[in-house]
Amino acid sequence: MSNENSIYAITFKKRKRGKDEDQTDTGARLYHALIVIFLEYFVAGMLTIPAIHALAIAFPENKLLLNGVIIGCKGIFSFISAPSMGIFTDTFGRKPFLLCSVFCTCIPAVFLVASPHWYFALFTLSGISPSTFSVIVAFVADITHPEHRATAYGLISATFAASFVLSPAIGAAISSSYGDSYVVGVATVIFVADLIFVFFVVPETLPASSVKPFIMDNSFFHAMNPFSTLKNISQDREFLKMSFVVFFSNLSEAGQLSFFFLYLKVVDGFSDNTTSYFMGVVGSLSVLTQTYVLQKFNTNFGPKQTIAIALVFQFLQLIFFGFSTHIAAINAAGIMFAMSQMTYPAITAYVSINTDQDKQGTMQGLINGVRGLCQGIGPALFGFIFYTSGIDMDIDIKGAQGGGMFANLGFDALGSGVLTPEHNVSKAVSVHKSSLDIIPGPPFAVGAVLVFVAFLVVLTIKDVSASNRRHRALTNSLSSGEIPLLIEKEFD
């Protein structure tokens, strides 16, 4: 691999621009985006165990269902606000909205211990703010060459994974030794550091030549309508297909990620430390997958084939989580989950290399707008399935035991006890297992079906590459009047 294509060069060096491109060097580099992502999601990861404790305090009953409702409402808010955020980042630049996103995402942490109800209320309302991932994706598109974007987006996703390698374990250790209030204190310091870094260090990346005039006319208000966004997706056949892929794959992923920690503790019997250890191993593998493996796959097979391969891994890990709690199955599922994390950066690269620079925020916002819709529906769907399956919330998620490579698992973890507001107290209960003997994780089984549908759709999309960029690709197949109607949001 040439020095120009190395991960070091992509991360730290200035992008070489063509003669017809804006030659202004803003000083922005990929490492700016990586630092912002790492710090923000480090805060979120540290709060995993305290947030579970707060959930028990705020909602003594039906915790899994309400967890899904809360995250689902946040996702719906994100979907509703997505169109305006996509337009604004292409109009006023990336930095103001990156600052706003970091602030709104992290500020609920301050209230976690003092008032759990306020924490969950602010957490839900934070969906109205810009998505950090959406802004970062446009930020990266501004400063990287199209053929390097798959690697760049892989590094972004890998940084997110790396943050979760460390943060839940650190948060659990601090919580165990000193209490949740100390975790919140440390998280708040990191949150403030992230804000300072964005405000004083991160440059604006949107070239002056790409700035669009802001006109509040009928087309602007029409573009702000998220349902107009969905309508305009259908006008481009290829983008419609990709939107279906994003929807079905992320519907499963959003639900799974919303319940991953709770599911490991409730059904598989993980302790806090075992949960953190398992996620640390999976996160480490995800870092490797989204850097080295993704780069190799994208180079050798192309974006379309990489997406298809990642979806196969996603399907298999959902099958394993859905139909087994055996140690070997969970270990294998963890490895396949890490491999499946190539899906999002591969999709992002597929779209980015076929999108003009002045529409990166808009088009990537569209993809994240669909993801935002999934963030609303996925957690609520998983929570409802858990609830109707009888797993919803007379289960202790504290004090289970684990060992082995990831954990020493047993199906008997289902009968452990009741999670009470005093999260160290466990009460024995009986759990109806008849329907769970065959399918211990019903939502994961449903998710596998959705991912299989996404895989079938991927097989029908056109193959593209950065070196052979089709002029009549995603954005060019739309009229100029339709482009502003295709807009924004994330997965947090």
Structural domains in the chain plus CATH codes: 29-207+220-485 (1.20.1250.20)
Residue 71 neighbours by CB distance under 10 Å: 27
| Most confident range, picked from 23-27, 162-166, 272-276, 420-424 | 162-166
472-477 mean pLDDT: 41
| 3-state DSSP of 403-472 | CCCCCCCCHHHHHCCEECCCCCCEECCCCCCHHHCCCCCHHHHHHHHHHHHHHHHHCCCCCCECCECCCC
Distances in Å between the Cα of 492 and the Cα atoms of 64, 108, 200, 242, 254 are: 18, 14, 24, 21, 9
216: burial class by Cβ within 10 Å (0-12, 13-18, 19+)? exposed
Which pLDDT value is given to residue 33? Answer: 94
Q: Is the dihedral of CA 233, 82, 315, 353 positive or negative?
A: positive
Given pLDDT bands bounded at 50, 70 and 90, which one contains residue 77? Answer: confident
Tokens 């890998």 sit on residue: 158
> Residue 90's closest CA among 133, 134, 26, 126?
134
d(CA 152, CA 345): 8
239-252 mean pLDDT: 89
Which pLDDT value is given to residue 205? Answer: 86
- Three-point CA angle 460, 463, 465, nearest 5°: 160
Given pLDDT bands bounded at 50, 70 and 90, which one contains residue 240? Answer: confident
Which pLDDT value is given to residue 485? Answer: 28
196 in the Ramachandran plot: left (φ > 0), alpha (ψ -120 to 50) or beta? alpha
The 8-class DSSP code of residue 17 comes to: -
DSSP per-residue codes, 135-195: HHHHHHHHHS-GGGHHHHHHHHHHHHHHHHHHHHHHHHHHHHHH-HHHHHHHHHHHHHHHH
Q: What is the pLDDT of residues 289-341, one digit of tens each?
A: 887 898 889 888 888 899 999 999 999 999 998 888 777 888 899 999 999 98
pLDDT of 201 > 90? The answer is yes
Is 194 within 8 Å of 40 (Cβ atoms)? yes
- Three-point CA angle 262, 314, 386, nearest 5°: 35
pLDDT of 353 > 90? The answer is no
Candidate from 38-42, 89-93, 117-121 with smallest mean pLDDT: 89-93
Q: How far apart are the first and last CA of the chain?
A: 33
Which pLDDT value is given to residue 189? Answer: 95
Tokens 């100029």 sit on residue: 480
d(CA 306, CA 97): 31
E strand or H helix at 98, and its extent?
A: helix 95-106
29-37 mean pLDDT: 94
Candidate from 31-40, 88-97, 146-155, 349-358 with smallest mean pLDDT: 349-358
Distances in Å between the Cα of 362 and the Cα atoms of 13, 91, 408, 459 are: 26, 10, 46, 26
Given pLDDT bands bounded at 50, 70 and 90, which one contains residue 399? Answer: very low
Q: Which amino acid is at 359?
A: K
Which pLDDT value is given to residue 248? Answer: 94
Which pLDDT value is given to residue 264? Answer: 76
Q: Which amino acid is at 340?
A: S
In angstroms, how far is CA 112 from the centroid of its own chain?
21
Which pLDDT value is given to residue 391? Answer: 65
pLDDT of 221 > 90? The answer is no
Q: What is the pLDDT of residues 400-443, one digit of tens each?
A: 333 333 333 223 333 333 333 343 333 333 344 545 567 778 89
pLDDT of 397 > 50? The answer is no
> Residue 137's closest CA among 451, 422, 367, 377?
367
- Three-point CA angle 419, 162, 364, nearest 5°: 100
Higher pLDDT, 395 or 47: 47
pLDDT of 237 > 90? The answer is no
Name the token pair of 207.
């070239």
Q: Is the dihedral of CA 363, 368, 371, 375 positive or negative?
A: negative
Residues 6+ apart with CB under 8 A from 209: 22
Kindly report the backbone phi and psi dihedral angles of residue 435, in degrees, each rounded to the nearest multiple of 5, phi listed first. -80, -15
Query: Rounded to two decimals, what is the model's pTM?
Result: 0.69
187-191 mean pLDDT: 94
C-alpha atoms less than 13 angstroms from C-alpha of 45 in its C-beta half-sphere: 26
Which pLDDT value is given to residue 133? Answer: 79
4-33 mean pLDDT: 75
pLDDT of 478 > 60? The answer is no
Which pLDDT value is given to residue 471? Answer: 41
Average pLDDT, the chain: 75
> Residue 449's closest CA among 394, 385, 361, 400?
385
pLDDT of 488 > 50? The answer is no
In angstroms, how far is CA 96 from the centroid of its own chain?
21
Residues 6+ apart with CB under 8 A from 371: 246, 250, 254, 489, 490, 491
> Residue 100's closest CA among 184, 141, 42, 40?
40
d(CA 252, CA 442): 12
Which pLDDT value is given to residue 74? Answer: 84
Given pLDDT bands bounded at 50, 70 and 90, which one contains residue 275? Answer: confident
Is 454 within 8 Å of 308 (Cβ atoms)? no
